[in-house]
Structure 1
Amino acid sequence: MVPDDPATPICSAKGCRAAAVWVLAWNNPKLHTPERRKTWLACDEHREHLSQFLGVRGFLKDVVRLEEWEPADEAPHPGGPAAGQGEGSAADR
């Protein structure tokens, strides 16, 4: 399902165009200060997959429903691991 509103946040999983329901907050300790949080978005279908991808690398810090997320300095990032983001692109550093 493609969200009708282009401003609607979408899932970060490759090829997924579903509306995001979850924010996955993460941090790569080799690149980021401990308090920094990068974010990926997930629909219900891809939440577990994206969480596992970050979790096995020790990056996952928190999973929060989108409506409960209170971002600090960063907006949720639309690029997920399969969208070429992997452990973090140059923009994530």
Structure 2
Amino acid sequence: MSELICSAKGCQQPAGFDLGWNNPKIHTPDRRKHWLACPEHRESLAKFLSARGFLREVTEL
């Protein structure tokens, strides 16, 4: 199994969090897309998604 890597641009650190999100304008409420985040980028990625109203949940891996 390959290691899960952070989704932040240029980051190659192991992911520790799964940020589940969807765009309510184009996705059904139960649809989830996923970004992975290392501890360093969890907050910045979550803020980006939250500012757009997309963040649904953050789960520790």
* TM-score band, normalised by shorter chain: over 0.9
Q: Indicate whether 1:59 and 2:54 are aligned.
A: yes
The runs of at least 4 consecutive aligned structure 1 residues that moved more than 4 Å come to none
2:17 and 2:29 map into 1 onto residues whose CA distance is 22
2:11 and 2:32 map into 1 onto residues whose CA distance is 23
2:3 and 2:38 map into 1 onto residues whose CA distance is 12
Alignment of 1:1-93 (within 5 A): 7-66=2-61
- Select the structure with the greater relative contact order (CA < 8 A; seq sep ≥ 6): 2
Structure having the larger proportion of residues in strand: 2
- CA RMSD, Structure 1 to Structure 2 (Å): 1.0
Q: Which runs of 5+ in 1 are unaligned?
A: 1-5, 67-93
Q: Percent identity?
A: 61
Partner secondary structure for residue 7 of structure 1 = coil
Partner secondary structure for residue 41 of structure 1 = strand
Q: Which runs of 5+ in 2 are unaligned?
A: none
The amino acid across from 2:17 in the alignment is W
* CA deviation profile, 1:11-58 (whole Å, cap 9, x unmatched): 000000000000000010111001101100000000000000000000
TM-score (ref. length: structure 2)? 0.97
TM-score (ref. length: structure 1)? 0.64
